[in-house]
Amino acid sequence: MLAGTAIGCTSLRSPYQVHGGIRYTLHEDSRFSRVEKGKNGSLMYDSPELTMSCENGRLRINGVDAGPVKTGDHVEVTEMQTVLVNGERRGDMTTGAELNRQRLQQSKLQVETQPR
């Protein structure tokens, strides 16, 4: 799993930042988004409809393997929640839609069951 500190996406927006040898451009979801950067070079972006992670040379979108990433690649999450690697579309918020729906449902249940 990713070890790191949650940070605001704003620190990864102008115009891109490098982490683990990979360039990232991450456009914030207007409702919520967070980024976790691991000490091992891993990175996770999370928003209501899209989870994207790069770890151990693999890109995952909403829990689905979306191919390799390597040093020097440019990974972008667009304003439309599409994931591009070096300009090539690897997936979007519909990738792994059933897995993502289950993740959202579980999150909703956790929020509803927390004491106020």
Spatial distance between the Cα atoms of 108 and 85, rounded to a whole number of angstroms: 31
- Taking residues 89-103, what's their average pLDDT? 83
H runs (alpha helix) in the chain:
97-113
Instruction: Provide the whole-model pTM.
Output: 0.72
Domain boundaries, the chain: 4-113
Closest C-alpha to 94, from 44, 58, 45, 51: 51
Q: Which residues contact 79 (CB under 8 A, 6 or more apart)?
A: 27
Range list of H helices, 34-96: none
Averaged pLDDT for residues 12-27: 81
| Residues 62, 100 contacting (CB under 8 angstroms) | yes
Task: Take residue 84 and report the two structure tokens written for it.
Answer: 């591009």
Separation of alpha carbons 40 and 21, rounded Å = 11
pLDDT number for residue 89 = 96
Tens digits of residue pLDDT in 55-93: 999 999 999 999 999 999 999 999 899 999 999 999 998
